[in-house]
Amino acid sequence: AMEGRAVGSGEEIHLTLYWEALAEMERDYTVFTHVIGERDRIWAQVDSQPQGGAAPTSTWSRGQVLMDEYHLLVEPDTPPGVYDIEVGLYLAATGERLGLLDEAGHWLDSRVLLTKVRVR
């Protein structure tokens, strides 16, 4: 869920993610939320453990749903245009991203493109 689909440069995007744990995890992953432009240039970024560290992924129970909020500050020099919002999980110690798999278990990507946002 995202408030609005347009934002001015230097303004915040309020992003609410909902995670459902399909299995229990042993490790604590960090969430990345990015506003990206051409050649994956990042124009806004927040990396955090879920709920600001209050809900590490190793504590999730199977079937649990968590609400997780982020406030992405768009860089003041961001050119007007349409940008993607990407989200994913990684291990802070190594930078290794968690893979996105299809229902058959095949690797698709290391991120999810959630939606587009217009910077005016």
110 against 3, higher pLDDT: 110
Q: Which residues contact 12 (CB under 8 A, 6 or more apart)?
A: 71, 72, 73, 74
Q: What is the pLDDT of residues 57-105, one digit of tens each?
A: 999 999 999 999 999 999 999 999 999 999 999 999 999 999 999 989 9
Average pLDDT over every residue of 102-110? 92
Q: What is the pLDDT of residue 5?
A: 86
- Return the C-alpha torsion angle 59, 22, 31, 56, nearest 10: 0
What residues are paired with 18 via a beta bridge?
A: 67
Q: What is the pLDDT of residue 68?
A: 98
Single pTM value for the model = 0.92
